[in-house]
Amino acid sequence: MQIIGIGTDIIECLRIAQMIERHGETFIERVYTEHEIEYSSTKKSATQHYAGRWAAKEAVLKALGTGWRRGISWRDIEVRNLRGGAPVITLTGGAREVYEQLGIQKMHISISHCRSHATAYAIAEGEA
């Protein structure tokens, strides 16, 4: 196994809060999956969790080397959490197609946030 790609992203939580305030459910449902909405909206600091997931999606795109092209949508990248809380990435649609084309077998993700910022780091690992 080798590293095929890496990606990182940082976002101001205030920016996500403003997007939610300005566009409401339209923004949330365009960017986040049902599972992500359910998870984040139940948290005391929901904006930080939404921002963390935003950063994770951006980091994964960078690790895939695609940006927002090749038919990839926001909801093709989903962040879930294992029982212990560790985040994991699930890919569908265009993101899954690129993942398979590149021979990626595992996408590692790390997310961190505080009141002001959220950051994420992704590593794509596989057989080149």
Catalytic residues: 62, 113
Residue 22 CB-density burial (10 A; 0-12 exposed, 13-18 middle, 19+ buried): exposed
Torsion sign, CA atoms 91, 32, 49, 54:
positive
Q: Are 80 and 90 in contact (CB under 8 A)?
A: yes
Structure-block tokens of residue 125: 């690992």
